[in-house]
């Protein structure tokens, strides 16, 4: 149901989520309320768990242990072991070994060794209870995947990758489990040896082919080196001679170049003085350092000085001066010819130096070519020598590995060792009765809680104050508990035929206290303008409407001193029977249909301050009665005569009279049967009253259950369902089909 009426699931409050303690408390209360559902579910689920455990066949587990090393023991002095390419160290290696233990290849070996392909015990067809014929067994044997069955039953465990591997197999036959485990251990060990031998054999064959190829390559490389060394001279002596020659040629080249440059400079200097008569005034270095020119220049200067001296004494044509001039001309001619000779000599020296430089250049190129040839020959020699050394090294390694592989093939070392063979298990691993029973009990408790929660979720009835206020949105006036006439501790005995007057006979009972609480809530609704006309109605029949009307009327009469209870249930009136008055002497319908005053039909009751207006004769058209103006006038007249008038009407879902009367009243009180009135029914009732703008004062929960103490809405948490009514008036109600409900407000359905 909607709202907060259920204990679970819980909803967050406005202050945040409910604490764990509150949630647990609500869960316990829910289990207590739905305890029969909880207990029955727990018993059924636990019984089912017990039956399942008893029907299970015991399963035994046999376990053997082996050591799996990453490498086989070393029998050679060097690291020459041959292993499959897939073998890796660490965690991947152990994972691969576990896969091998659970492989079909290993399972096939075990099947062949133990003959499991036709083993009826292994195939599970040896049980006489199956009653299989020979033909059926042969069909199972022919179609069964025995290898797959064997592989799927192998369980491996390798804690902390330490190299210790546990192999386990489960079977209903402990001896079969032991035999299978031991067969797997031995098959795995033998298979590992066979694999290593096969790998070594294949490696030996490959190494033989490689050995022959490397042997031929070694011979070819050594032969090529010999031939090359024979045909090429790259000795150190030759290399030294060539190096010295290159060094000498480089020096000669530098000298020739120097001579050429100096001769070219002299040619350049002498070219402009060639044929010149002013040689002695030249400042060219080539002329200034020439001895002959220096001597000629000295002689020329001496003659020039003498001529000057003669010129001071003689005329120009004097023979002495002429002789000196002739001598000067001879000196100049001789100097000019000598300069020309020097120029020609320098030119020839340039040509000679150039030719020498070309010759040295040619010889130097030849020497360098020879040196390069020697170097290339040395490089090729080193390459051929390295190839020969590499081929010889590979040849030696392969030869050594081939020898060691042949030895390993005959030795057959293994890295798998059986540590402990499996023994016949004494006790089964399944079912573990103690654990199974514990789990079954937990599941039973959980199922019981879930069923209790489910039943509570499916229970769409009003039970608590929260249901009314949060779901219906109307005030909660109070709760009136069930009447317990047999409880003499609460007061005087209550006549069975007048059980609905329980408050009158027991004014100090819990019911009376609860009724007074409802009365107080009604009086405080309008403290300034007291309520005069109250309509008591319900959504459906048998919800305690009449008993609640009588209870409230008795309580209001005690407080006001003058109250009237009017029976407006024009279809099944019951108030006249409740107060022991005849019903055919007239009443409400008699007043509406005649001109007699209403006072003529009011009857006094045994309850102090309370009068009763019975229904009177049942009319053929009840709805028309409440629509008349005389009915309206009657309501007004009664409110003038009494302090408070309580109208007990029909259920709203069945007839329309309550809705018509509600518009004439100061307020409407709805009565809901605790744990019986459905929420949707109550909502429809409230919506119908709100549609006509009726003043809904609130809801009273009737026939609530309580645990032991308390009254009113304080015992709302004590509501529960279950138990049949054992009061004697139950049978009286069954004999009276016109009654609105069992006297005392209890539903005859229990």
Neighbours of 445 (CB within 10 A): 16
What's the alpha-carbon Rg for the chain, to the nearest Å?
A: 67
What pLDDT, on the 0 to 100 scale, is given for residue 565? 95
| In contact, 442 and 244? CB cutoff 8 Å | no
Closest CA to 702 of 518, 480, 465, 549: 480
| In contact, 553 and 563? CB cutoff 8 Å | yes
For residues 668 and 685, what is the distance between their CA atoms, to the nearest angstrom? Answer: 11
- For the stretch 440-464, pLDDT in tens is 889 988 888 888 888 777 777 887 7
Mean pLDDT of 133-142: 85
Q: Are residues 546 and 452 in the same domain?
A: no
What pLDDT, on the 0 to 100 scale, is given for residue 28? 80
- CB neighbour list of residue 246: distance below 8 Å, 6 or more residues apart: 364, 367, 368, 371
Q: Are residues 364 and 476 in the same domain?
A: no
For residues 103 and 107, what is the distance between their CA atoms, to the nearest angstrom? Answer: 6
Which stretch of DSSP H or E encloses residue 604? strand 603-604
- For the stretch 259-312, pLDDT in tens is 888 878 777 777 767 766 667 766 667 676 777 777 877 888 888 888 888 888
Pairing of strands 60-68, 164-171: antiparallel
Closest CA to 123 of 137, 107, 110: 137
| In contact, 242 and 234? CB cutoff 8 Å | no
For residues 601 and 589, what is the distance between their CA atoms, to the nearest angstrom? Answer: 10
Q: Are residues 452 and 525 in the same domain?
A: no
| In contact, 204 and 409? CB cutoff 8 Å | yes
When mean pLDDT is compared across 29-43, 231-245, 625-639, 712-726, the lowest value belongs to 712-726
What pLDDT, on the 0 to 100 scale, is given for residue 333? 77
| In contact, 717 and 7? CB cutoff 8 Å | no
Q: Are residues 384 and 467 in the same domain?
A: no
The answer to whether residue 205 is domain-embedded is: no
Q: Are residues 645 and 700 in the same domain?
A: yes
Which two tokens mark 434? 């103690």
Give me the CATH number covering residue 713: 3.40.50.300
User: b/e for 7-20, b at 16 or more Cβ within 10 A?
Assistant: bbeeeeeeeeeeee
State yes or no: pLDDT of 68 exceeds 70: yes
What pLDDT, on the 0 to 100 scale, is given for residue 742? 38
For residues 679 and 575, what is the distance between their CA atoms, to the nearest angstrom? Answer: 28
The answer to whether residue 472 is domain-embedded is: yes
What pLDDT, on the 0 to 100 scale, is given for residue 348? 85
Q: Are residues 451 and 548 in the same domain?
A: no
Neighbours of 734 (CB within 10 A): 11
Please state whether the peptide bond connecting residue 9 to the residue before it is cis, i.e. omega within 30 degrees of 0.
yes
- CB neighbour list of residue 583: distance below 8 Å, 6 or more residues apart: 573, 576, 577, 614, 615, 616
Question: What range does the domain containing 267 cover?
Answer: 250-395
What pLDDT, on the 0 to 100 scale, is given for residue 489? 62
Q: Are residues 503 and 452 in the same domain?
A: no
Q: Are residues 485 and 452 in the same domain?
A: no
Q: Are residues 510 and 651 in the same domain?
A: yes
DSSP β-bridge partners for residue 166: 65, 157
State yes or no: pLDDT of 749 exceeds 60: no
| In contact, 655 and 627? CB cutoff 8 Å | no
Q: Is 466 helix (H, G, I), strand (E, B) or coil?
A: helix
Task: Lay out the sheet containing 164-171: strands in order across.
Answer: 155-157, 164-171, 60-68, 416-420
What pLDDT, on the 0 to 100 scale, is given for residue 609? 92
Tell me the average pLDDT of the chain. Answer: 79
When mean pLDDT is compared across 86-95, 341-350, 356-365, the lowest value belongs to 86-95
Q: Where are the beta strands (DSSP E) in 348-420?
A: 416-420
The answer to whether residue 422 is domain-embedded is: no
At residue 727 the predicted structure's pLDDT band, cuts being 50, 70 and 90, is very low
- CB neighbour list of residue 552: distance below 8 Å, 6 or more residues apart: 515, 518, 519, 522, 534, 536, 646, 669, 700
What pLDDT, on the 0 to 100 scale, is given for residue 411? 59
Domain boundary among 355, 371, 395: 395
What pLDDT, on the 0 to 100 scale, is given for residue 89? 55
More confident residue, 70 or 298: 298
∠ CA 287-293-295 to the nearest 5 degrees?
A: 140
The answer to whether residue 32 is domain-embedded is: yes
What pLDDT, on the 0 to 100 scale, is given for residue 668? 94
The answer to whether residue 449 is domain-embedded is: yes
When mean pLDDT is compared across 166-175, 256-265, 619-628, the lowest value belongs to 256-265
- For the stretch 580-604, pLDDT in tens is 887 667 888 888 888 889 998 999 9
747: phi then psi, degrees, rounded to nearest 5: -75, 130
Closest CA to 70 of 11, 169, 158: 158
3-state DSSP: the chain helix, strand, coil percent, rounded to 5?
Answer: 60, 10, 30
Domain count, the chain: 3
| In contact, 471 and 2? CB cutoff 8 Å | yes
Residue 703 Ramachandran class (φ > 0 left, ψ -120 to 50 alpha, else beta): left
State yes or no: pLDDT of 7 exceeds 60: no
Q: Are residues 452 and 496 in the same domain?
A: no
Which two tokens mark 324? 């000196």
The answer to whether residue 483 is domain-embedded is: yes
Three-state SS string over 90-158 comes to CHHHHHHHHHHHCCHHHHHHHHHHHCHHHCHHHHCCCCHHHCCCHHHHHHHHHHCCHHHHHHHCCEEEC
State yes or no: pLDDT of 530 exceeds 90: no
- For the stretch 8-32, pLDDT in tens is 444 444 334 456 777 777 778 777 7
The answer to whether residue 49 is domain-embedded is: yes
Closest CA to 184 of 120, 109, 127: 109
Which two tokens mark 472? 């219906």
Residue 51, exposed/middle/buried by CB under 10 A (0-12, 13-18, 19+)? exposed
What pLDDT, on the 0 to 100 scale, is given for residue 610? 94
For residues 614 and 633, what is the distance between their CA atoms, to the nearest angstrom? Answer: 17
Q: Are residues 374 and 450 in the same domain?
A: no
Mean pLDDT of 114-141: 82
State yes or no: pLDDT of 559 exceeds 60: yes
- Greatest mean pLDDT range, 341-345, 501-505, 609-613: 609-613
Q: Is 613 helix (H, G, I), strand (E, B) or coil?
A: strand
Please report, rounded to a whole number, the percentage of residues in the chain having pLDDT higher than 70.
Answer: 84
When mean pLDDT is compared across 22-31, 356-365, 391-400, the lowest value belongs to 22-31
Domain boundary among 457, 486, 508: 457
Q: Please provide the DSSP assignment of 481-506 as one string.
A: EPP-TT-GGGSS---GGGGGGHHHH-
More confident residue, 431 or 112: 112
- Greatest mean pLDDT range, 78-82, 89-93, 310-314, 564-568: 564-568
CA 320 to each of CA 24, 304, 324: distance values in angstroms, whole numbers, following the listed order: 163, 13, 6
For residues 236 and 255, what is the distance between their CA atoms, to the nearest angstrom? Answer: 29
At residue 737 the predicted structure's pLDDT band, cuts being 50, 70 and 90, is very low
For residues 331 and 299, what is the distance between their CA atoms, to the nearest angstrom? Answer: 8
Only one residue has tokens 């031991």, namely 182
For residues 553 and 441, what is the distance between their CA atoms, to the nearest angstrom? Answer: 53
More confident residue, 697 or 712: 697
User: b/e for 608-623, b at 16 or more Cβ within 10 A?
Assistant: ebbbbbbbbbebeebe
Quote the DSSP letter at residue 58: P
Q: Are residues 708 and 676 in the same domain?
A: yes
At residue 637 the predicted structure's pLDDT band, cuts being 50, 70 and 90, is very high
The answer to whether residue 593 is domain-embedded is: yes
């Amino acid at each position: 149901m909607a709202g907060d009426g259920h204990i679970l699931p819980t909803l967050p409050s406005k202050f945040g989520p409910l604490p764990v303690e509150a949630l647990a408390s609500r869960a316990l209360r829910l289990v207590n309320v739905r305890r029969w559902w909880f207990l029955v579910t727990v018993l059924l689920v636990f019984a089912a768990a017990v039956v399942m455990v008893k029907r299970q066949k015991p399963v035994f587990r046999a376990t053997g242990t082996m050591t799996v090393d990453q490498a086989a023991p070393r029998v050679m002095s060097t690291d020459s072991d041959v292993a499959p390419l897939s073998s890796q160290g660490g965690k991947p290696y152990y994972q691969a070994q576990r896969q091998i233990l659970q492989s079909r290849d290993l399972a096939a070996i075990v099947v062949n060794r133990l003959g499991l392909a036709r083993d009826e015990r292994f195939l599970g067809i040896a049980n006489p209870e199956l009653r299989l014929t020979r033909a059926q067994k042969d069909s199972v044997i022919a179609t069964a995947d025995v290898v797959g069955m064997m592989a799927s039953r192998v369980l491996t465990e390798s804690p902390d990758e330490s190299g210790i591997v546990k192999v386990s197999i489960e079977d209903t036959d402990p001896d079969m489990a032991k035999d299978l485990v031991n067969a797997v251990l031995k098959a795995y060990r033998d298979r590992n040896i066979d694999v290593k031998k096969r790998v070594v054999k294949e490696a030996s064959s490959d190494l033989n082919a490689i050995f022959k190829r490397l042997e031929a390559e070694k011979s070819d490389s050594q032969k090529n080196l010999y031939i090359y060394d024979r045909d090429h001279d790259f000795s150190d002596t030759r290399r030294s001679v060539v190096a010295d020659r290159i060094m000498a040629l480089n020096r000669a080249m530098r000298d020739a170049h120097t001579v050429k440059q100096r001769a070219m400079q002299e040619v350049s200097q002498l070219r402009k003085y060639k044929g010149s008569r002013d040689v002695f005034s030249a400042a060219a270095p080539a002329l200034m350092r020439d001895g002959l020119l220096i001597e000629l220049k000295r002689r020329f200067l001496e003659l020039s000085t003498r001529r000057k001296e003669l010129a001071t004494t003689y005329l120009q044509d004097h023979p002495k001066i002429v002789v000196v001039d002739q001598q000067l001309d001879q000196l100049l001619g001789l100097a000019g010819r000598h300069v020309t000779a020097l120029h020609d000599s320098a030119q020839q020296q340039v040509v000679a130096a150039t030719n020498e430089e070309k010759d040295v250049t040619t010889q130097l190129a030849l020497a360098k070519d020879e040196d390069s040839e020697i170097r290339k020959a040395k490089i090729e020699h080193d390459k051929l020598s390295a190839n020969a050394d590499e081929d010889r090294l590979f040849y030696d390694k392969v030869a050594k590995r081939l020898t060691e592989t042949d030895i390993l093939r005959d030795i057959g070392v293994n890295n798998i060792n059986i540590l402990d063979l499996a023994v016949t298990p004494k006790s089964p691993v399944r079912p573990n009765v103690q654990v199974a029973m514990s789990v079954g009990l937990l599941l039973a408790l959980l199922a019981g809680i879930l069923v209790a929660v489910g039943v509570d979720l499916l229970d769409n009835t009003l039970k608590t104050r929260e249901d009314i206020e949060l779901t219906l949105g109307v005030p909660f006036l109070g709760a009136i508990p069930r009447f317990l006439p047999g409880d003499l501790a609460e007061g005087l005995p209550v006549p069975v035929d007048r059980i609905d007057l329980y408050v009158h006979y027991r004014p100090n009972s819990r019911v009376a206290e609860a009724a007074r609480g409802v009365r107080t809530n009604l009086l405080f609704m309008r403290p300034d303008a007291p309520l005069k006309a109250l309509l008591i109605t319900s959504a459906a029949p048998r919800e305690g409407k009449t008993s609640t009307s009588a209870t409230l009327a008795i309580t209001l009469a005690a407080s006001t001193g003058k109250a009237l209870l009017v029976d407006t249930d024009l279809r099944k009136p019951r108030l006249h029977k409740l107060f022991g008055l005849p019903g055919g002497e007239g009443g409400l319908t008699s007043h509406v249909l005649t001109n007699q005053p209403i006072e003529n039909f009011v009857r006094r009751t045994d309850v102090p301050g309370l009068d009763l207006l019975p229904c009177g004769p049942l009319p053929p058209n009840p709805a028309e009665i409440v629509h008349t103006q005389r009915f309206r006038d009657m309501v007004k007249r009664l409110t003038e005569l009494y302090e408070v008038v309580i109208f007990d009407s029909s259920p709203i879902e069945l007839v329309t009279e309550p809705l018509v009367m509600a518009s004439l009243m100061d307020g409407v009180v709805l009565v809901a049967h605790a744990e019986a009135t459905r929420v949707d029914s109550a909502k429809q009732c409230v919506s119908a009253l709100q549609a006509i703008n009726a003043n809904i004062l609130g809801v009273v929960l009737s026939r609530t259950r309580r645990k032991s103490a308390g009254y009113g809405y304080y015992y709302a948490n004590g509501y529960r369902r279950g138990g049949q009514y054992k009061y004697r008036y139950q049978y009286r109600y069954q004999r009276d089909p016109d009654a609105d409900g069992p006297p005392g407000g209890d539903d005859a359905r229990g």
